[in-house]
Every structure is written in structure tokens, then in C-alpha cells.
């Protein structure tokens, strides 16, 4: 869908430069990382973690992209109106990565990531207000608001990690959830489904608990099926495997997870090992579950989440 704003109407300098970094002559896979480094100041290691590649690989991609800009004389300017729509995807991806980096710092104590979630939401609101007919801009904002609505419930009184299924829904921010739901409805009315709308719809399904309903895992499984066809990322595939386990049993979920085992990007990805450990534990495979928990614990940076994983392993060993 064509953007309905003029480039000179972009009111924020960072946003203008983000669109400039999304030049079509730059390889698609590096546009969002280039935005994160050049405009938002992320280092290569942080960007690499967000995109499931090694820091060395990401560093090389960024160096090559900058060299191409210099060698081919790609103009570092704000694009014309007709160019904005084609660059929107990379800008949204960078905004989401910004939010996710801040979201991973649940207590806001990491000075490097402090306020990044707020920054991501601010940029998302700006894009959604400037492009109110862009369904994916609306979908991304909805997705971030659904997540932000649960911030207060993610840690217990002593700072302990609380998984989504065990969170106290009274602590969720109903105002943000209602706003996200309205955005998702507006996006759906455009009749063009995309990644962020589907991810937001998954979060919407989880929030049904606040109305006293159980989690509709069948609907979540269908949404992840659709997401896998739209954005075939290993992260989506892991979440889909968890949904399969909830609808068809742990054996089926583990089978879906094992299919991903050859993806080298997942060898250092904590959620893969945590999901694998949980499903193995449900099947009574104590030894392999403990090994997977050890791998997940070793990969986790967040002390609270690390303690949670250690506690899950302790329950397993003590059973």
C-alpha cells in the first residue's frame, strides 16, 4: 500500500534517517540492522543477537553495506513520497527490534537498554499516526502495546520471573490492551494481513484470560501456522511447536521442535533449549530435559530468568 504522507512531513529526524537507510539498493537483510547501528546506536553484537546471527557475521554484513553505499554513491537522503511505502518494512523491523531490546530488560536496570521499549512505542505511534492506512504499522503498534501491558506482571515482588501462563491478569494494563485491540481491528479492516498483525493477534488470544476465558491454543496454533507461511523464522517455528504441544500433546510439539534442530542459528538461542527442556520434562525424559535446561541456563543473560530455569531444572531432578 502506498504511503499517504510526504517525506517532508516526517517530523522526527531519526525517522527521516531511518527511511533514508532503507534504500532499495541495500540488501534487504541488512537494512534494519543498518538502521539500528547508524541511527539508533546499537552495537553489532546486540544487532546480531536480535537477528540470530553471530556478531562476526553481522559485523561483516554491516561493513559490506557501508562499503556499497560509498562505492555506488547511494544518496543518504530522505526518500520521495513514492519511495516511502517500499521502505516501510525495514523501518518497522528496526522499530520492533528497538522495542524488543528494551523489553528484554524487564526491570529497566540495564543502562544500555533503558527506555528502548518506550522509544520503540513512541516511534511506532508516530508511524501509525503518519500512516493510518498502513495495516502493518497499526499491527506493530498493537503488538508492542500488548507486550507493554504485561510489564508489571512479568516479575514477582522479589524480582522473580513470572511466565505468561502464571501472570496475575489484575496487573495487566487494561487501557493499553484495549488500545491494542482497537488498533488490530483497524488493521484488519484494511484486508491485508501481515506479520505484525498476526503476532499481535497471538498476543490478543493470550489476553483472553483477563475476561475469565482460558487460553485458546487452537486459535494460537492457527495463527502460528499463518505466521510461519508469512515470516518463516525459527522463532515463529519454536512458538508454533509450543502451541502444537498444547493442542496435540508434548510428543507432537517435540517432534515439531526437533525438525528445527539442524538450524545452526538455534544452537545459541535460549528459548529453543528452554522449550525443548520443558517438553522433554513433560514426557518424563529427565536426563535429556536436564541437559537442555543446562544449555538454556548457560545462554541466558537475565539473572531472574536464569533463576527460573534453574528452579525448573531443580523440580525435574527432585521429581
Chain segment 33-47, per-residue pLDDT in tens: 999 898 888 888 888
282 CB-side CA count, 13 A: 14
Per-residue pLDDT at 1 exceeds 90: no
CB atoms within 10 A of CB 268: 14
pLDDT value at residue 51? 87
- pLDDT tens readout for residues 119-142: 999 999 999 988 899 999 999 999
CA 145 to chain centre: 12
Tell me phi and psi for residue 66, to 5 degrees: -65, -35
Q: What is the pTM of this model?
A: 0.89
CA 11 to chain centre: 26
- pLDDT tens readout for residues 258-283: 999 888 889 999 999 999 999 999 99
For range 55-59, the mean pLDDT: 91
- pLDDT tens readout for residues 171-192: 999 999 999 999 999 999 998 9
- Cβ-proximal residues to 136 (8 Å cutoff; 6+ apart), any chain: 88, 89, 92, 187, 192, 194, 195, 196, 197
pLDDT value at residue 78? 67
Bridge partners, 155 (sequence order): 161
CA dist., res. 181 & res. 187, Å (int)? 10
pLDDT value at residue 11? 58
Per-residue pLDDT at 151 exceeds 60: yes
Domain locations in the chain as residue ranges? 10-131, 133-154+169-212
CA dist., res. 238 & res. 224, Å (int)? 10
For range 151-167, the mean pLDDT: 93
Amino acid at each position: 500500500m502506498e504511503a499517504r504522507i510526504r517525506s517532508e512531513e516526517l517530523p522526527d529526524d531519526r525517522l527521516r534517517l531511518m527511511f533514508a537507510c532503507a534504500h532499495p539498493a541495500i540488501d534487504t537483510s541488512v537494512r534494519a540492522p543498518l538502521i539500528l547501528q547508524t541511527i539508533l546506536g546499537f552495537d553489532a553484537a546486540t544487532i546480531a543477537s536480535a537477528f540470530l546471527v553471530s556478531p562476526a557475521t553481522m559485523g561483516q554484513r554491516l561493513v559490506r553495506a557501508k562499503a556499497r553505499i560509498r562505492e555506488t554513491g547511494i544518496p543518504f537522503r530522505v526518500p520521495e513520497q513514492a519511495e516511502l511505502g517500499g521502505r516501510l518494512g525495514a523501518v518497522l523491523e528496526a522499530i520492533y527490534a528497538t522495542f524488543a531490546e528494551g523489553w528484554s530488560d524487564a526491570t529497566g536496570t540495564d543502562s544500555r537498554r533503558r527506555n528502548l521499549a518506550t522509544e520503540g512505542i513512541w516511534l511506532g505511534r508516530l508511524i501509525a499516526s503518519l500512516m493510518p492506512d498502513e495495516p502493518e504499522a497499526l499491527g506493530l503498534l498493537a503488538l508492542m502495546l500488548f507486550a507493554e501491558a504485561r510489564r508489571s506482571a512479568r516479575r514477582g515482588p522479589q524480582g522473580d520471573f513470572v511466565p505468561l501462563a502464571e501472570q496475575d491478569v489484575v496487573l495487566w494494563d487494561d487501557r493499553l490492551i484495549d488500545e491494542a485491540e482497537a488498533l488490530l481491528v483497524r488493521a484488519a479492516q484494511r484486508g491485508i494481513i501481515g506479520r505484525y498483525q498476526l503476532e499481535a493477534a497471538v498476543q490478543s488470544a493470550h489476553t483472553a484470560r483477563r475476561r475469565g476465558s482460558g487460553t485458546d491454543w487452537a486459535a494460537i496454533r492457527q495463527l502460528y501456522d499463518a505466521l510461519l507461511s508469512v515470516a518463516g523464522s525459527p522463532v515463529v517455528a519454536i512458538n508454533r511447536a509450543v502451541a502444537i504441544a498444547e493442542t496435540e500433546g508434548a510428543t507432537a510439539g517435540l517432534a515439531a521442535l526437533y525438525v528445527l534442530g539442524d538450524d545452526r542459528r538455534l544452537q545459541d538461542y535460549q528459548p529453543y533449549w528452554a522449550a525443548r527442556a520443558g517438553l522433554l520434562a513433560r514426557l518424563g525424559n529427565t536426563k535429556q530435559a536436564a541437559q537442555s535446561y543446562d544449555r538454556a541456563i548457560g545462554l541466558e543473560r537475565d539473572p531472574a530468568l536464569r533463576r527460573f530455569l534453574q528452579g525448573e531444572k531443580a523440580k525435574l531432578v527432585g521429581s
